[in-house]
């Protein structure tokens, strides 16, 4: 069956694929998945992936050992930007935007403003991998591509637990399993297993966790000093903010972690009542309603906490103002 991807690839002989800063499972899965699919259906097209360094657990994915990390000097006919809502957040390969004949973005972030020449953005979809799936032909899918797409969907849905999962998501994941992928190994190694040092970092963040003044959220922090002391790194912050959100009775979690001296990345997670995407946007970041992020520089922990408290309140006020307006119109 001819699909949207066949149309997109029409006339191309060289494509490049890249993702976002600090690549996660969906970013890695969608970039490697697209490459594996294109290599199989269009061996005449040269397809290369550029990504920032990513967690070693994803090395089990087919093609992970062929990711370029250097500066690209090629001029691809098409650059595919996967899972990235903001041109400033494109990781390795960002220079290709100027060099490529055409930039195509495949994404699912509601904050994506459509920066590419062609934007395929489904904000209701669980993952960029699921958006990509709908552009491909199930009949020409192969096991390597299936393993990558399954990984991305599982990763961005917290292993199929979030409300972003639909009947179609499960049907697509089921179809991907039918290609004979070793999904128990994929889930164990990419979603659950972590290194000893990672466990210790998580323990530290949980030990430091406090309840926010509004009583609805929890907050914690990790500094560069902590990574050093625990022989850990910023790559091992994954999963901590999700674990914090598992606290009974709270709606949202906030983790500050120092990425460069004096600069803290903020990760937000919500169970639904707090629109953390909006809160992050007010800080110059972005993301989804339930998972979002931003950065702050030159503030101490108390100042960052106050700033976050204020944007969460503002995001809530906007929501109640919108609800009130709706009510008045009725």
| Closer residue to Mn ion, CB minimum distance, 221 or 277 | 277
Residue 295 is a binding residue for ligand 5GP (CB under 6 A): yes
Question: Shortest approach of Mn ion to residue 226 CB, angstroms?
Answer: 27
Name which position in 6, 77, 86, 309 contacts ligand 5GP (CB under 6 A). 86
Q: Is 85 in the site for ligand 5GP (CB under 6 A)?
A: yes
Q: CB-wise, 85 or 151, nearer to ligand 5GP?
A: 85
Our finding on whether 285 is near ligand 5GP (CB under 6 A) is yes
Cβ proximity to ligand 5GP: between 62 and 157 the closer is 157
Is 242 an interacting residue with respect to ligand 5GP (CB under 6 A)?
Answer: no
Residue 112 as a binder of ligand 5GP (CB under 6 A): the answer is no
Q: Identify which range of 80-88, 204-212, 244-252, 261-269 contacts Mn ion by CB under 5 A.
A: 80-88
Position of minimal CB gap to ligand 5GP: 293
List CB contacts of 174: < 8 A, sequence separation 6 or more: none
Number of residues that bind ligand 5GP (CB under 6 A): 15
Contacts to ligand 5GP by CB under 6 A: 85-86, 89, 109, 111, 267, 285-288, 291-295
């Amino acid at each position: 069956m001819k699909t949207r991807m066949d149309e997109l690839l029409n006339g191309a002989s060289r494509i490049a694929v890249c993702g976002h800063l600090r690549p996660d499972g969906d970013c890695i899965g969608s970039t490697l998945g697209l490459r594996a699919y294109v290599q199989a259906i269009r061996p005449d097209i040269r397809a290369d992936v550029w990504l920032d360094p990513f967690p070693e657990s994803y090395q089990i994915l087919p093609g992970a050992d062929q990711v370029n990390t250097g500066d690209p000097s090629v001029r691809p006919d098409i650059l595919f930007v996967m899972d990235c809502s903001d041109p400033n957040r494109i990781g390795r390969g960002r220079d290709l935007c100027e060099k490529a004949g055409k930039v195509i973005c495949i994404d699912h972030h509601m904050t994506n403003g459509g920066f590419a020449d062609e934007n395929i953005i489904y904000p209701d979809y669980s993952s960029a991998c699921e958006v990509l799936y709908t552009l491909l032909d199930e009949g020409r899918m192969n096991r390597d591509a299936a393993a990558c797409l399954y990984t991305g969907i599982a990763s961005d849905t917290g292993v199929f637990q979030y409300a972003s999962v639909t009947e179609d998501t499960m049907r697509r994941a089921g179809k991907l399993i039918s290609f004979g992928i070793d999904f128990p190994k994929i889930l164990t190694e990419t979603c659950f297993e972590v290194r000893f040092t990672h466990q210790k970092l998580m323990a530290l963040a949980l030990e430091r966790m406090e309840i926010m003044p509004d009583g609805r959220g929890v907050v914690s922090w990790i500094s560069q000093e902590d990574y050093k002391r625990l022989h850990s790194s910023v790559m091992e912050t994954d999963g901590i903010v999700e674990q914090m959100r598992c606290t009974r009775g709270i709606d949202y979690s906030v983790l500050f972690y120092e990425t460069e001296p004096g600069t803290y990345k903020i990760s937000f997670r919500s169970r639904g009542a707090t629109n953390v995407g909006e809160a992050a946007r007010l800080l110059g970041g972005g993301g989804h309603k339930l998972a979002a992020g931003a950065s702050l520089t030159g503030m101490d922990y108390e100042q960052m906490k106050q700033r976050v408290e204020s944007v969460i309140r503002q995001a809530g006020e906007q929501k109640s103002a919108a609800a009130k307006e709706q009510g008045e119109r009725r």
